[in-house]
Structure 1
Amino acid sequence: MGKIFEDYFSEYQADMVSICLEYVDWRADAIYIYCSYESNTIYGDCFFEITKKVVKKHQLNDIKGKEEGFEYDVSEERQRGLLDIISEDIEKIYTLCMKYGKDMPTEMKLVYDVKKNSLKADYCYENLWTDSETKLGLDICEEWFEEVKKKEEERVYVA
């Protein structure tokens, strides 16, 4: 039996998770991937939870409690490569949706729990920033980052 729409869709999401895992040398507790496709504009980014700290891709070496002596490669070249692959996968998902006559999500929020090997995804099909004069995909991703970071800080504080 050949692959169906859902197989390809899942494959592209898994590829995003895989490149993010590679980026952090498989040393993350959770990976958060933000994907946006509105008005033929792609925006993708990611951030990570490592040792109960939520950090952006360029902040990995700022984490207290990470393995002593270990340094993440957060060079601009590596970050650009990571984002290029995420963007390519978003483009592949768009092409897939068009091929199968499916609606393309305007937003995908993917959360991968590394320890549980589990992926949760939230999809939105409404324009979130196209009609705004002040917001871009970057802004919405930043809001999500701050929301996740605040929840993690509250969880750590309560524990």
Structure 2
Amino acid sequence: MKDFEDRFSELQADMISICMEYIEDRADKVYVYCSSEKGIISANFFYLIDNMYLEPHMVNESMKDGTEAFDITPKRQSMVLRIICEDIQKINTLCKEYERDMPTEMKLIYEVKSGNFKAEYKYDLVYANDDIKTADHIADEWFEEIKNNNL
């Protein structure tokens, strides 16, 4: 029988996998932002491709002449986000089942060439007690931080 860590890791791997599928495995790094606070689940994702940090709707900017463009339709982006959010929900259920704390925030980074995977977790409320910020604000701030510091 699989234990908590195995199932937790599989769900995170699924998030990375769907993001890789979106980019047809042509990214150098994949970044996934997951949030679950007070019943609100949110996700976001972006990439490092050829030294450019790109949000999903901008990935075709990385294309060189003659390279086939990615399908970046809103429908396709929504599909990826829906799958990530479903995985967050499954993690939530898993945490309840094993009586573990559910992270309020997960930042996942996958380096494609090395296969290196890094995850950061928070368990305190990140935005739920903020009058202005939403999960999208936090995800956008992380994108800017990564982009500005070349992480």
Query: Which TM-score band applies after superposition, normalised by the shorter structure?
Result: over 0.9
Distance 1:16 1:69, change over 3 A: same
Shift of 1:68: 2.9
Runs of 4+ in 1 over 6 A off after TM superposition: none
Say which SS state the counterpart of residue 31 (structure 1) adopts. Answer: strand
Separation in structure 1 between the aligned mates of residue 79 and residue 22 of structure 2, nearest angstrom: 9
Separation in structure 2 between the aligned mates of residue 5 and residue 18 of structure 1, nearest angstrom: 20
Say which SS state the counterpart of residue 144 (structure 1) adopts. Answer: helix
Say which SS state the counterpart of residue 107 (structure 2) adopts. Answer: strand
Match of 2:67 among 66, 69, 93: 69
Shift of 1:70: 1.5
TM-score normalized by structure 1?
0.92
Match of 2:121 among 117, 120, 123: 123
RMSD: 1.2
Shift of 1:69: 3.0
Can you list the C-alpha shifts for 1:56-89, whole angstroms capped at 9, x where unaligned?
00001122x6463320100111001000000000
Unaligned runs of 5+ in 1: none
Separation in structure 1 between the aligned mates of residue 70 and residue 17 of structure 2, nearest angstrom: 16
Aligned residue pair count = 151
Equivalent position amino acid for 2:39 in 1: N
* Residue 144 of structure 2: aligned partner: 146
* Residue 101 of structure 2: aligned partner: 103
Say which SS state the counterpart of residue 141 (structure 1) adopts. Answer: helix
1:51/1:66 contact within 8 Å kept: no
User: What percentage of residue pairs aligned between the two structures are identical?
Assistant: 45
* Residue 113 of structure 1: aligned partner: 111
Say which SS state the counterpart of residue 36 (structure 2) adopts. Answer: strand
Can you list the C-alpha shifts for 1:14-43, whole angstroms capped at 9, x where unaligned?
000100000000000000000000001000
Separation in structure 1 between the aligned mates of residue 65 and residue 149 of structure 2, nearest angstrom: 24
* Residue 9 of structure 1: aligned partner: 8
Separation in structure 2 between the aligned mates of residue 57 and residue 42 of structure 1, nearest angstrom: 19
Can you list the C-alpha shifts for 1:103-144, whole angstroms capped at 9, x where unaligned?
000000000000011110000000010000000000000000
Separation in structure 1 between the aligned mates of residue 112 and residue 15 of structure 2, nearest angstrom: 13
Equivalent position amino acid for 1:127 in 2: L
Separation in structure 1 between the aligned mates of residue 124 and residue 99 of structure 2, nearest angstrom: 17
Distance 1:130 1:19, change over 3 A: same
Unaligned runs of 5+ in 2: none
Equivalent position amino acid for 1:136 in 2: T
